[in-house]
Amino acid sequence: MHLLTSSLFLPSILPLLPSFAHQRTLLESYMLTILVTSLSRGRPTIDARIPLSWPDHPAGMANAEGNGWCEIIQRTLGHPDSHVIKSVRALLHLGRKHALAGSLPGAVGGAGAETFDGMADVDGAVFVRMAAEIGRYQGWSEPPPETEGWDRSALGWDEAWR
C-alpha cells in the first residue's frame, strides 16, 4: 500500500531534478526499494489476470452507469483508516493515466513478450477492480476486525510501542 501511494509523487518530483542522471538514480533507487521490500515479504506471484477477474463495482451495487469509481470513492471517503482512501486515490490516478491496454510501462518487454502473465491486457479496468477489492477487504465504511485488514506483521509497531 505504501509503495502504491508513494508512486503518485514521482511525476511531480522527477522534473525538479537537475538532470536525467539524477532522475534515473531516483527511479532505480525507488524500484530497488520496491524489489527488496517485495522479496523480503516472500517472492510474490504476479499474474495480472487475477485482478482482471474481480468485479469492478462494490458488492451489492448493480452494474449501473459508469465504471464504479464514483461508488467506490463515496464508500471509502470517510473510512477511518486513511490508508484506504489514499490507496483508492492512487489507483484512480493510475487508472485514468493507463486507461488503454498495453499503456502500463513495463507491461510488454523489448521482445514484445509480456513481462508477467496477463500484463498486455492490463488497462484502466484493473485499477478500479483493485480499488473495489481494497474496499471489500478493508471494509467500506469501517475497519475490519483485527484479524483481517492490512498485513502489518512486518512493521514492528507492537515492538516499538512496548
- CA 155/CA 134 separation, integer angstroms: 20
- CA 123/CA 38 separation, integer angstroms: 23
Reported as type and span, the H/E element at residue 77 is none
Q: Cβ(72)–Cβ(135) under 8 Å? A: yes
- CA 108/CA 50 separation, integer angstroms: 18
What is the per-residue pLDDT for 26? Answer: 92
Confidence of residue 68 (pLDDT cuts 50, 70, 90): confident
Confidence of residue 151 (pLDDT cuts 50, 70, 90): low
Provide the 10 A C-beta neighbour count for residue 124. Answer: 22
> Taking the model in full, what pTM does it have?
0.70
Dump pLDDT digits (tens) for 69-118: 888 888 888 888 888 889 999 999 888 887 777 667 667 777 777 777 77
Q: Quick one: which of 113, 122, 106 has its CA closest to 52?
A: 122
